[in-house]
Structure 1
Amino acid sequence: MKIIKYEIGAIDISYTVKTINGHIFTHSFPKDTSSINVERYLNILSTNVDERKTKV
């Protein structure tokens, strides 16, 4: 997983992520979310995106 872009909004931060298999997705978190939790959640989402795209 690699964060390729992020945008800071008024109340949240939107991350664009490239998964290990090359899929790209975007997800937002509130600004007060710790960086450890952002990394943890994005890793989980990245794995789920790869699994779903592989099944299709």
Structure 2
Amino acid sequence: MDEYMTTEEVAAWLKVAPSTVCRWRMAGKGPRVTWLSPSLPRYRRDHVATWLEAVAA
């Protein structure tokens, strides 16, 4: 099963503020997000890793 992370967990992993992850999400520039409900964004760990590799290249 895929591991889903909260905004706070993604922020801690990337060493940025949770508000930065939210800003990226709203601008469509961050890792791919999955909405479990209108107020519950979640990120698959592999999607975050793929996104990080793409932006770091």
**TM-score interval (norm. to shorter):** 0.3 to 0.5
Q: Which has the higher helix share?
A: 2
* TM, length-normalised to structure 1: 0.34
Q: Which has the higher strand share?
A: 1
**Greater RCO (CA < 8 Å, at least 6 residues apart):** 2
Q: Greater Rg, structure 1 or structure 2?
A: 1
